[in-house]
Amino acid sequence: MSEYAFRKINIDALDEDVLLPSDLYDPDPRGPDGVLSDAQRKAGEVRNLVSRGDIPGALNTILSEPPYGDGVDEAKDLTKNSLLLILNSTRASEIPTILKSLGQEQQDHLMAYIYKGMAAIGQGSDVSGSVLLNWHAQLTEVAGVGCIVRVMADRRTL
């Protein structure tokens, strides 16, 4: 049996020049603490804006400089929940105009969060599948399949 032991060696751990996933993007310049405090501040702002009915403002706030990468899970959760709150609080008739007012990068971030929301449906959080599918269809109309491709290709996972 010892002659097969070599098959269990993790060869990538021994390779000095191995390319790690973290090499493929630059980490968030704010650092984990800065990211968390930003996310908490934005979550509070979003709650205010949504209660006042200012959906475009809320989306603008939450989709600018979202937390990404490793080590910022709490911030990511906060951001995701704030965004789902916004999505659920928007009237369906207003969605197209709101989407057109977003910048291109914000549209890409929104698509990423829509997919993240869809992944969370099974885990018992209060997301409605039809709301997400509606947003997804409208966003694809506005931003195109290129938006979806960018979400899939980007290593800076939101």
Partner 1 sequence: MSAPEVFQLSLGPLTGIAFSPDRSQVCVCPNSNEAQIYTRNGDSWDLTDTLAEHDKLITAIAWGPNTNRIVTCSQDRNAYVWTHTEQGWKPALVILKINRAATSVKWSPSENKFAVGSGSRAIAICHFDEENNWWTAKQIKKPLRSTVLSLDWHPNNYLLAAGTADGRTYVYSGYIKGLEAKPEATIWGDRLPTGQLLAEFKSPNGGWVHDVAFSPSGDALAFVAHDSSLTIIYASGPNEPPAAHIVVKLPSLPFTNLTWTSESSIVAAGHDCQPILFTGSPSGWAISHSLDDPSSTSKPLTPTATGIRSGGGGVGRLGNNEAFNMFKAADSKGQRGLPGTGAATTSSGLTPVGSDGMLLTVHQNTITHVEAYEWNQNGEVSKIFTAGRDGRLVVWPVTGGKGGLSGRMAGLQV
Provide the minimum distance between the beta carbon of 15 and partner 1 in the complex, in angstroms, as a whole number: 11
Residue placing its CB nearer to partner 1 in the complex, 64 or 125: 64
Category of 122 on φ-ψ map: left (φ > 0), alpha (ψ -120 to 50) or beta: alpha
Provide the minimum distance between the beta carbon of 142 and partner 1 in the complex, in angstroms, as a whole number: 8
Q: Provide the angle, in degrees to the nearest 10, between the axes of the packed helices 145-153 and 104-120.
A: 70
Give which of 108, 39, 44 is closest to 80, Cα–Cα: 39
Provide the minimum distance between the beta carbon of 49 and partner 1 in the complex, in angstroms, as a whole number: 27
Residue placing its CB nearer to partner 1 in the complex, 25 or 121: 25
Provide the minimum distance between the beta carbon of 61 and partner 1 in the complex, in angstroms, as a whole number: 22
Residue placing its CB nearer to partner 1 in the complex, 59 or 147: 147
Alpha-carbon distance of 86 to 80, in angstroms, equals 10
Alpha-carbon distance of 51 to 86, in angstroms, equals 10
Measured in residues, the chain has a length of 158
| Binding interface with partner 1 (CB under 8 A) | 17, 19, 23-25, 104, 108, 140-141, 143-147, 149-150, 153-156
Residue placing its CB nearer to partner 1 in the complex, 84 or 102: 102
Residue placing its CB nearer to partner 1 in the complex, 29 or 124: 29
Give which of 127, 42, 124 is closest to 84, Cα–Cα: 127
- 3 state SS of 64: coil
Alpha-carbon distance of 63 to 57, in angstroms, equals 10
Provide the minimum distance between the beta carbon of 112 and partner 1 in the complex, in angstroms, as a whole number: 10
